[in-house]
Amino acid sequence: MTAAENVCYTLINVASDSEPPSEVSLKADLEKGEIKAKTEALKKVIIMILNGEKLPGLLMTIIRFVLPLQDHTIKKLLLVFWEIVPKTTPDGKLLQEMILVCDAYRKDLQHPNEFIRGSTLRFLCKLKESELLEPLMPAIRACLEHRHSYVRRNAVLAIYTIYRNFEHLIPDAPELIHDFLVNEKDASCKRNAFMMLIHADQDRALDYLSTCIDQVHTFGDILQLVIVELIYKVCHANPSERARFIRCIYNLLQSSSPAVKYEAAGTLVTLSSAPTAIKAAAQCYIDLIIKESDNNVKLIVLDRLIELKEHPTHERVLQDLVMDILRVLSTPDLEVRKKTLQLALDLVSSRNVEELVIVLKKEVIKTNNVTEHEDTDKYRQLLVRTLHSCSVRFPDMAANVIPVLMEFLSDTNEAAAADVLEFVREAIQRFDNLRPLIIEKMLEVFHAIRTVKIYRGALWILGEYCSTKEDIQSVMTEVRRSLGEIPIVENEIKKETGEVKPEDEVSAAPAQKLVTEMGTYVTQSALSSSRPSKKEEDRPPLRGFLMDGDFYVAASLATTLTKVALRYVALVQDKKKQNSFVAEAMLIMVTVLHLGKCSLPKKPITDDDVDRISLCLKVLSECSPLMNDIFNKECRRSLSHMLAVRLEEEKLSQKKESEKRNVTVQADDPISFMQLMAKNEMTSKEDQFQLSLLAAMGNTQRKEAADPLASKLNKVTQLTGFSDPVYAEAYVHVNQYDIVLDVLVVNQTSDTLQNCTLELATLGDLKLVEKPSPLTLAPHDFANIKANVKVASTENGIIFGNIVYDVSGAASDRNCVVLSDIHIDIMDYIQPASCTDAEFRQMWAEFEWENKVTVNTNITELNEYLQHILKSTNMKCLTPEKALSGFCGFMAANLYARSIFGEDALANVSIEKPFHLGPDAPVNGHIRIRAKSQGMALSLGDKINLSQKKANV
């Protein structure tokens, strides 16, 4: 809390545009006004005192004319007034008038209305003067026996704070509260009383818990939460107590309150690492995820399960619960499903992989029957990838998975179909025994494929792996079926010519005859514009692609036909059949070339595709052994090599992950015996309750870096000069979505500065939450002011402002000191992340903002420069280590990061080492940054520009 906040507990919003009233008018309203006028006057007095005004002349007026009133609003405002008003003289003695106030509150503590009693007891918690509290002690004790629970629970709080601050006023408080707790029936009163005993006299709290430990499950959830906290603290401080209370924690796992179950499961895991305890806690977490409707709760609890998995011994226990974890897939939220599938995949073993695959197959089939939702396609893609990973790790499962997944090749969602195709390509290469099954299924679904990219991939697989005469004939049949009647050009022109039926001519506008480039006539009428859509629907798929001008698929078709024709020639001895098959393949290629050169398609064929088809025609006409070898062996060898490299990378990353998780103990590490440890050593484990409280308050204690420059002092920004009348510096604390500025203000003059106000403004996507309150600074005094700034997106923000103040006794205008700008670092919001190559390429094409940064550095090594950029931008390198190794003078790498707001940032580093300039020449090249928002792209570019050069140590 800052100096401005230390005065009181109650913070009141002050209207900045209102004029402060005079003391005389306030006095008149408080003395002679109606209840409403007195209420308004009292509010104004409170606001003025909060702003630093003293108003000593109004104290007696309020005691005489306002304190005796019985109006509830007035009484509530008076509680705030007495909390903030100065109660002592400058030399620290209590004001005489406060005796009258004390008497008034003694009467309020005996008031018949429970609200007045309860709110007065709450107010007493905030008093710091023992002289005021002493006469009230008998009345406070009496409130413990009041009929209403609101009074009793506030009486417990009052006794606790008084005992904590002034133990001599009520030395028997723990005993008194223990007796009260034994006889109390209300849950909130019991909770407050138990909470007090935990902090004031833990032994009494344990004694009470021991007497009712079997009834804990019948208590209210607020009391159960406090009991969990007590057990956690006691067992951590004194591990020998674990056996005494662990049964109680087990019982609380069955609580009706989700909060209690969550805390109990977390406590159980920290107290015991026995398999039964871990299983019970994990089961509890899974039930919570399934039963809770809030997705944020599901994600938090899932994170706890993932944390459990990180421990090697716990992982074995969780492996038995994979099927229970998969029940979470019933949640419609994609993020929850993604985490669940990843967790299940990490835990799958040979014992439960079969069950996992059955569940995932059912889920895949379900996505087919669901009405299209924006996340359904993405979920299907996730399921396909999970099944792919299962099949790679457990080859026996591939035969069960492939038939189900092959149906999705005809899916309209290209992303899911592409994942299936990638999986099929890997499976057909790795598992020889599955090739006949895959080929059979592929031929079944081939005609139903509707996406050109998938069609190309399917053609390639069929061309590469069809090895029997029957399969090759089937491929040719499917290609002819998909292409329609050939020659294509003549067939299309016939269709165009015979488009208008005689019955249509009646309603048609006057027709006109047109001559095509081929020299044939076609008839066009006003109604003909609606006809092509029907005609296009009737087109076979491959012909549709070609008519749309996508001739890349034609090049793929030519390669496939060349492969199967060369293989057919090797398999069949009959020359007539050989020639017939090769001629048919060549005819198809020629007719496609003819189509590409004419004006019928929407786009003409490209020169590259013409070259490829011409090359295939030449290869088939010559049938040389060398070409046969290249087409039928080298292609497969390249795929095999690529898959082997990818598998090696996966194994390497898994090995790194397992090494990270394995706790390595050095041979000379000391052995810790729990029984022989001193109590202070046992606290080495962090207090989870304290950590969660700190996280909620935004005070997460990060481990400081070894570099002293990375400590807190590095985040202190000097705002004014040392010779300014007011010196100011700010510590910038970044906490996810908000920034807290802790500004130290020092009065360097010999004058009293009144209404010293910190005025701030922001530039960028930052928003000031509250205006800091004005201060009064004594000569050479100092104070801390806190200001909260909300952050809405990832871009460089600037906070600027000034300090204005009045000099006491001076007649001049307000003084102003302008502050230096505070620049908010984008790196506090960017975290390294991973994505697949396909996702990277897709995002690269979609993102519209690009920032090109020219490399300007003093670093001479390519790899060193890349590592420097990764370190200074918090991005992750997606290009594998193997691709970056070696020295060729050039380097290209893809980088990726994600902000805490879910924004993606992509970067492509293209650099070279100019050898002709000598060995000490610095690296040159470009870095291209792409992002969805302009702010992200520009901010990241600025960051790279600022940190390109390596500082000389």
pLDDT in the model for residue 517: 39
Q: Which residue has the higher pLDDT, 894 or 700?
A: 894
Q: Within this chain, do residues 812 and 835 fall inside the same structural domain, yes or no? A: no
Average confidence (pLDDT) over 636-663: 67
Of 618, 649, 680, the residue that ends a domain is 649
User: What phi-psi label fits residue 925: left (phi over 0), alpha (psi between -120 and 50 degrees) or beta?
Assistant: left
DSSP H/E element including 664? none
pLDDT in the model for residue 99: 81
Asked if residue 656 is part of any domain, the answer here is no
Burial zone of 601 (CB within 10 Å; 0-12 exposed, 13-18 middle, 19+ buried)? buried
Q: Within this chain, do residues 358 and 413 fall inside the same structural domain, yes or no? A: yes
Confidence of residue 424 (pLDDT cuts 50, 70, 90): confident
pLDDT in the model for residue 524: 43
Average confidence (pLDDT) over 12-19: 57
- Asked whether residue 525 carries a pLDDT value surpassing 50, the answer given is no
Average confidence (pLDDT) over 877-896: 81
Asked if residue 17 is part of any domain, the answer here is no
Of 412, 446, 480, the residue that ends a domain is 446
Q: Within this chain, do residues 793 and 847 fall inside the same structural domain, yes or no? A: no
Asked if residue 235 is part of any domain, the answer here is no
Cβ count within 10 A of residue 383: 27
| Dist CA 793 CA 802 (whole Å) | 25
The parent domain of residue 747 ranges over: 714-824
| Dist CA 852 CA 173 (whole Å) | 70
* SS3 state of residue 140: helix
Q: Within this chain, do residues 639 and 777 fall inside the same structural domain, yes or no? A: no
Q: Within this chain, do residues 577 and 598 fall inside the same structural domain, yes or no? A: yes
Q: Within this chain, do residues 591 and 469 fall inside the same structural domain, yes or no? A: yes
- Asked whether residue 291 carries a pLDDT value surpassing 70, the answer given is yes
Q: How many CA atoms lie within 13 A of 917 on its CB side?
A: 10
Confidence of residue 515 (pLDDT cuts 50, 70, 90): very low
Burial zone of 183 (CB within 10 Å; 0-12 exposed, 13-18 middle, 19+ buried)? exposed
DSSP letters spanning 452-483: HHHHHHHHHHHHHH--SHHHHHHHHHHHHHHH
Which residue, among 684, 529, 555, has the nearest Cα to 610 in the 3D structure?
555
- Asked whether residue 44 carries a pLDDT value surpassing 50, the answer given is yes
Q: Within this chain, do residues 844 and 765 fall inside the same structural domain, yes or no? A: no
Confidence of residue 811 (pLDDT cuts 50, 70, 90): low
Asked if residue 83 is part of any domain, the answer here is no
Average confidence (pLDDT) over 932-941: 83
Average confidence (pLDDT) over 622-633: 69
Q: What is the mean pLDDT of the chain?
A: 77
Asked if residue 171 is part of any domain, the answer here is no
| Dist CA 125 CA 82 (whole Å) | 12
| Dist CA 740 CA 770 (whole Å) | 11
Confidence of residue 505 (pLDDT cuts 50, 70, 90): very low
Q: Within this chain, do residues 738 and 774 fall inside the same structural domain, yes or no? A: yes
For residue 715 the two structure tokens come to 């985040």
* 851 within 8 A of 905, measured Cβ to Cβ: no
pLDDT in the model for residue 52: 67
Least-confidence region, from 135-139, 542-546, 729-733: 542-546
Q: Which residue has the higher pLDDT, 782 or 690?
A: 782
Task: Give the total number of structural domains in the chain.
Answer: 4
- Residue position matching structure tokens 């020092």: 746
Which CATH number does the domain housing residue 731 bear? 2.60.40.1480
Average confidence (pLDDT) over 668-695: 54
Which CATH number does the domain housing residue 892 bear? 3.30.310.10
Give counts: helices (H), strands (E), the chain: 41, 18
- Asked whether residue 872 carries a pLDDT value surpassing 80, the answer given is yes
* 447 within 8 A of 484, measured Cβ to Cβ: no
Global pTM reads 0.66
Q: Within this chain, do residues 435 and 561 fall inside the same structural domain, yes or no? A: no
pLDDT in the model for residue 667: 67
pLDDT in the model for residue 530: 38
| Dist CA 881 CA 885 (whole Å) | 6
- Asked whether residue 161 carries a pLDDT value surpassing 80, the answer given is yes
Which residue, among 841, 827, 834, has the nearest Cα to 939 in the 3D structure?
827
- Give the tens place of pLDDT for each residue, 905-929: 899 999 888 877 777 888 888 999 9
Confidence of residue 476 (pLDDT cuts 50, 70, 90): confident
Least-confidence region, from 1-15, 291-305, 630-644: 1-15
List of residues 6+ apart from 81 with CB closer than 8 A: 42, 45, 46, 49, 62
- Give the tens place of pLDDT for each residue, 425-450: 777 777 778 778 888 888 888 777 77
For residue 870 the two structure tokens come to 């990764």
* SS3 state of residue 901: coil
Q: Within this chain, do residues 479 and 584 fall inside the same structural domain, yes or no? A: yes
Asked if residue 922 is part of any domain, the answer here is yes
Average confidence (pLDDT) over 36-58: 81
Paired strand residues for 817: 803
Q: Within this chain, do residues 744 and 861 fall inside the same structural domain, yes or no? A: no
Q: Within this chain, do residues 804 and 911 fall inside the same structural domain, yes or no? A: no
- Asked whether residue 501 carries a pLDDT value surpassing 50, the answer given is no
List of residues 6+ apart from 697 with CB closer than 8 A: none
| CA pseudo-torsion sign 610, 611, 613, 617 | positive
pLDDT in the model for residue 727: 92
- Asked whether residue 534 carries a pLDDT value surpassing 70, the answer given is no
- Asked whether residue 168 carries a pLDDT value surpassing 60, the answer given is yes
Hey, what amino acid is at 503?
A: E
Which residue, among 833, 801, 799, has the nearest Cα to 817 in the 3D structure?
801
- Asked whether residue 677 carries a pLDDT value surpassing 80, the answer given is no
* 181 within 8 A of 226, measured Cβ to Cβ: no
Confidence of residue 745 (pLDDT cuts 50, 70, 90): very high
Confidence of residue 728 (pLDDT cuts 50, 70, 90): very high
| Dist CA 694 CA 691 (whole Å) | 5
360-373 residues labelled b (16+ CB within 10 A) or e (exposed): bbebbeebeeeeee
pLDDT in the model for residue 420: 79
Confidence of residue 712 (pLDDT cuts 50, 70, 90): low
* 115 within 8 A of 159, measured Cβ to Cβ: no
For residue 383 the two structure tokens come to 């399921």
Asked if residue 789 is part of any domain, the answer here is yes
Burial zone of 45 (CB within 10 Å; 0-12 exposed, 13-18 middle, 19+ buried)? buried
DSSP state of 886: S
Of 605, 623, 649, the residue that ends a domain is 649
